[in-house]
Structures are given as C-alpha cells and as structure tokens.
Structure 1
Amino acid sequence: MALKLKSAKKLFIFLGKSVLALVETVVFAIIPKPRKNVAGEIVLITGAGSGLGRLLALKFAQLGSVLVLWDINQENNEETCKMAGEAGATRVYAYTCDCSRKEEVYRVANQVKKEVGDVSILINNAGIVTGRNFMDCPDELIEKSLDVNFKAHIWTYKAFLPAMIANDHGHLVCISSSAGLIGINGLADYCASKFAANGFAESIFLESFAKGQKGIKTTIVCPFFIKTGMFDGCTTGCPSLLPILEPEYAVRKIVDAILQENLYLYMPKFIYLMVFLKSFLPLKLGLLLGEYLGAFNLMDGFTGARKKN
C-alpha cells in the first residue's frame, strides 16, 4: 500500500511539474523571455573562420563578450578576429585548432585557460559534410564526419565543463541540424554524427540537472540547411514550409535562444511539426510526407563546399 501511495505521489508531482512547464512554454511563446547579459563572458566558438561561426562571432562582439575563436584555417580565423575587433570586441583571441583531433583540442584548450581564462559560453559549431551516398563514402571521410561533428563536442566539454561546474556558471551550445532529428537521403554519415551530437548534448543537460547544477545552461540548435556555402546546390521541395535559411536570420535566432536560455531551437518552426509527426505516423506515411516536401532528396545537385571546421 505504501509503495502504491509513493508511486501515486511521484505521478502527481510529475503531472504538476508538466502542467507548470506547459504553462511556462505558452506564456513565453506570447511574452519573450528576458535576455541575459553576456558582456564580459568568455565565448568560445569552434569553426569561427567562416559561415555561421564568423557571424556568431560578430554578433557576440557587438554584445561585449570576450571572444575565443577556433578554426582549422588560420588565415580565415584571423580575418574573423579582425572583423570582430572592428565590430566592437575589446578582447578577441584566435587559435588554430583541428577539432577532430582530441590531443589538439586539449592542448589548445589549456592555452586558452592560461591566456584568456575560463570559458563560460561554449559554442560547438564546427562541422563537415561529405554529401555522398553511404556505400560511395570512403571510411576516412565517415570517420572525419564523426570526429568533427560529434566527437569534438565530447573533447571540448571535457576541457571546459569542469570550470563551469566549479563556478556553477556556464552555457553549452550545440549547433546541430535538422539532419540530427530526421534522416536524409545522401547524408547517412552526417545524420549519424548530428543525431549523436543531439543525444550527447541532451544527456549532459540531464546529468547537470540531476546533479542540481542549475547555473549551467544548454541550448541545442537544429536548423534546416543554411546558405553558408556548406550545402550549395541543395534544393527544397517546399520552400514555403522548409526554406533554405538565410545566415543572418539563423544567427539572430540562435543568439536570441542563447540569451533567453532556451533548451531547444528548431528552424524553421515547421521542423517542430515534422518531428511530432515522425513520432506517431506510420513509417510509410512519414516517408511520403518527406518525399512530398523534398526533405529526403535535398542532396540532389549538391555542388557546394563539403567542409567547414
């Protein structure tokens, strides 16, 4: 009897918290959350040498953050560093780092700790795409996709999370993809790496929550494809519902999600519906929906850059 009462109590507590969470979601859908101040925060961005990483750096420069820029391309990264200074950053540091190599991540991370300080906002943005059918993709490229798009997140968390835990202050940002939520034709290795990154980020969030580390926030970003050059040549069968996103729009939404400490950000909003439908539609109907929207054939005509780190 006591066991049943205990179970019933847990159920009512769960239902009560669920209702409160739902009410909070509805309220903040109408009234935007207050934004936190990131002036003076040390923000590390991987893949900062171009595309989304560069635009994020410029945005945080305008917000008064201390910037730590990582990229495998030294020249591009130093260009971002210069642009961030011109955008208003008072302190900005550029480091050449191959995020696919654990030893290099740890080595450069130690440099950052000594020369800049404890990173308080970590944005894992670096990524690569092969754009090949699974059986046509060489093993080394598959391994590279997993190393950059997923494993790099593990090594950067290992390097910078301890200080966040010690300070009970920090923000972990996973720039993932809608390809980490729904499988896409021609992107098997990319989808695998992004699904893994999503699961990893969610697990670390739950681990922190369970330990009562309320000062450590997480934001998981799953956008549809963005016009950064990484997916040049990709098309969408339904641009009104699944448009290829403009970089400036994507960066604005990402920064807003970070400042409002939102756990998830899917872009465009139709992705929320697709994930919901995927959870209960029969597989065949889900595939028909994807075929209708062109969501499973995006790589047809792919001609763009296959690497971004």
Structure 2
Amino acid sequence: MKRGTQIAGARVLIIGAGSGIGRLMALDAAARGAAEVLIWDLSAESGKRVADEIAATGSHARSFTVNVADSDQVALIAEDTGPVDVLVNCAGIVTGKKLLDADEDAIRRVYDVNVLALYWTTRAFLPGMLERDRGSVVTISSAAGFTGVAKQTDYSASKFAALGFTESLRNELRTDGSNIGTLVVCPFYINTGMFEGVTTKFPRLLPILEENHVASNVLDSIESGREQLVMPSLVRLLPAMRLLPTRTFDRVLDFLGVNKTMDHFTGRRPVSPEPNTASPAAELNSVEGAATHP
C-alpha cells in the first residue's frame, strides 16, 4: 500500500462538490486544513454556495462551473484550476430504467459522466502529480461495480468500467514506479436525501450509509493510502460470490433484495428527472444525490 496523501496543506479538487457527499467531503477537507478546496460542479450556484460555506470558516475555496463530459472544457478549466494534490471524481448519474426503456441520449449521458469523464479529469491533472511524484486519484464507483443490477444496466456497466479504470490506473502507476496513489470507493445504499423513511430488506446486513460517514471515510482512506474502500463490509463478499454458479449467485442477490431495490424502499417521494453531477453513485431513479444504490 502506497503512502497516503495528507489533506492538511493539500490542494484538493472534488468533482461534483456542489451538493451531496461531494459537498460534505469539501467541507471536511477544509476542516482538515486543506490549503485550498477546489469545487467543480455543473451548477454554478451550487458550487459557489459551497465555496462560500468554506470561506466563511476562514479556509480557502474556489468554485468552477464545469461539464465534465466535455473534454475540451475540462482541459481548459483545468488550466485555471492549477495543479492539485488530490483529485476526487465524485460525479455520477443513472437512468434507473430497463434496457429497452432508456433512450439513447440518456444512456450516452451516463457513460459520458460515469466513465469518460474519469479519463478527461485524470488526464488533465495526473501530469502535474507525476511531475511532483505525489498525489492521489480517487474514483467513486459503487457496489454495482461488483454485480450487474436489474433495471440499471447502463449504470451497473458504467460502474464496472469505473472500477476497471481505477485498477488499471493503479497498475500503470505501480509498474512505472510512481508514488501517486489511487483509491476506488464502492458504497452500497447511501441516504443522500432523495428518499424519506428509507429501509432495506435486511437493514442490519445492508444498512443505509449516512452521508457524513461515507465522506469522512473517503478522506480517511486518502490519508492512509488505502486503495479500495467498500461499504458496508458485507459488500466485500460480492466479488467472491461471482465465482459461484451464475444461478446460485443470482439467487443470493434475489434473497438480499438487490434486484428488487425499489420494492424494498418505503416513503418514496417524487424526484426531479433532471440529472446533475453532484454526488457519488447517486443513483436510484435518475438523480444523483439520492439514496444510492450499489
């Protein structure tokens, strides 16, 4: 395990920090003494609001309005942002529909934000880290990166890709002798406010994760040099269970309620169909910042 990157004194960039867990990580990074917290968000208003929150505490923050799906825009704004010590890719969207029900534009948007944006942002900031031979690249994947989920074909496949991206980057950096760290985060459900009264089929085995808990654990993992963060602990069994016969594995997932996610929530309320890029794996029902699915 490589040495971690200390948040204190670091320039920390969080993609999608205008709300949800991205916002909480930004606030926590400032509280830990980051030299500057850099906020990239699709919403100019949301990004500025978080930067103002941080500034009110006496810490330094700047916000930038960025569509991370646009590679040219990412490259241009990265120049204004300057080199960073920590890059947290925290944007993600999902259609939450069956394969034949999702329209082409929505599917392309999922891959643009959940997968291709990882390439554009990392390519923009990795050279500066390599030049100094220090830093951390963080990818928010999902437990869905370990198993395909019904009614979330595009999302699940994109999170498999995000996991593979980070693992490939880790090995590339490792074999090149670089000290740049990588961290992939794979959470299960996260209560980020889209649902009220959320419950799961087995709340003791698969509890709803609280936003602050996830955000602080991500920053702790960056500082410790951890390379994978899976939450809750039961989710660690999913990769191993993939070695079971397919039908057996599917029955396990059915027993846990993974393939009937929406049937095991209570207090569901309507949400906006408009996607944003604010939170990690935000995920159920087309909007990030939701009670997130794996």
Cα distance 1:308–1:205, how it changes in 2: closer, same or farther (>3 A)?
Answer: same
In 1, the alpha carbon distance for the partners of 2:116 and 2:174 equals 22
- Which of 111, 119, 123 aligns to 1:158? It is 123
In 1, the alpha carbon distance for the partners of 2:99 and 2:196 equals 20
1:29-108 equivalent positions in 2, closer than 5 A? 37-65=6-34, 66-89=36-59, 91-108=60-77
Cα distance 1:288–1:73, how it changes in 2: closer, same or farther (>3 A)?
Answer: same
CA displacement at 1:236 relative to structure 2: 2.7
State the one-letter code of the partner of 2:138: V
Cα distance 1:87–1:289, how it changes in 2: closer, same or farther (>3 A)?
Answer: farther
Cα distance 1:235–1:298, how it changes in 2: closer, same or farther (>3 A)?
Answer: farther
Q: Is the 8 A contact 1:229 1:305 kept in 2?
A: no
* Residues 128-175 of structure 1 deviation map (CA, whole Å, 9 limit, x = unaligned): 121111110000000000000111010011100011111111100001
State the one-letter code of the partner of 2:158: S
Cα distance 1:64–1:35, how it changes in 2: closer, same or farther (>3 A)?
Answer: same
Q: Counterpart of 1:200 in 2: which secondary structure? A: helix
* Residues 170-200 of structure 1 deviation map (CA, whole Å, 9 limit, x = unaligned): 1000011111111111111111111111101
In 2, the alpha carbon distance for the partners of 1:34 and 1:171 equals 10
CA displacement at 1:283 relative to structure 2: 1.0
In 1, the alpha carbon distance for the partners of 2:96 and 2:215 equals 24
- Which of 106, 130, 154 aligns to 2:95? It is 130
In 1, the alpha carbon distance for the partners of 2:78 and 2:172 equals 23
| Higher fraction of helix | 1
In 1, the alpha carbon distance for the partners of 2:4 and 2:58 equals 20
**Residue matched to 1:194:** 159
Residue 292 in structure 1 maps to residue 260 in structure 2: no
1:219-230 equivalent positions in 2, closer than 5 A? 219-229=183-193
* Residues 230-270 of structure 1 deviation map (CA, whole Å, 9 limit, x = unaligned): 67797532111112211011112111111111000000000
In 2, the alpha carbon distance for the partners of 1:108 and 1:231 equals 34
State the one-letter code of the partner of 2:10: E
In 2, the alpha carbon distance for the partners of 1:150 and 1:281 equals 28
Q: Counterpart of 1:136 in 2: which secondary structure? A: coil
Unaligned runs of 5+ in 2: 278-294
- Which of 196, 209, 220 aligns to 1:256? It is 220
Q: Is the 8 A contact 1:185 1:299 kept in 2?
A: no
Q: Counterpart of 1:274 in 2: which secondary structure? A: helix
**Residue matched to 2:84:** 119
Q: Is the 8 A contact 1:236 1:293 kept in 2?
A: no
Residue 178 in structure 1 maps to residue 143 in structure 2: yes
Cα distance 1:189–1:105, how it changes in 2: closer, same or farther (>3 A)?
Answer: same
CA displacement at 1:271 relative to structure 2: 0.4
Q: Is the 8 A contact 1:233 1:304 kept in 2?
A: no
In 2, the alpha carbon distance for the partners of 1:138 and 1:232 equals 28
Identity %: 38
CA displacement at 1:36 relative to structure 2: 5.3
State the one-letter code of the partner of 2:236: Y
In 1, the alpha carbon distance for the partners of 2:94 and 2:126 equals 27
Higher relative contact order (CA 8 A, sep 6+): 2
Q: Counterpart of 2:259 in 1: which secondary structure? A: coil
Instruction: Give the structure-1-normalised TM-score.
Output: 0.83
Cα distance 1:160–1:175, how it changes in 2: closer, same or farther (>3 A)?
Answer: same
**Residue matched to 2:111:** 146
In 2, the alpha carbon distance for the partners of 1:180 and 1:274 equals 10
Cα distance 1:156–1:232, how it changes in 2: closer, same or farther (>3 A)?
Answer: farther
State the one-letter code of the partner of 2:244: L
In 2, the alpha carbon distance for the partners of 1:202 and 1:230 equals 31
**When the two structures are aligned, how many residues end up with a matched partner?**
271
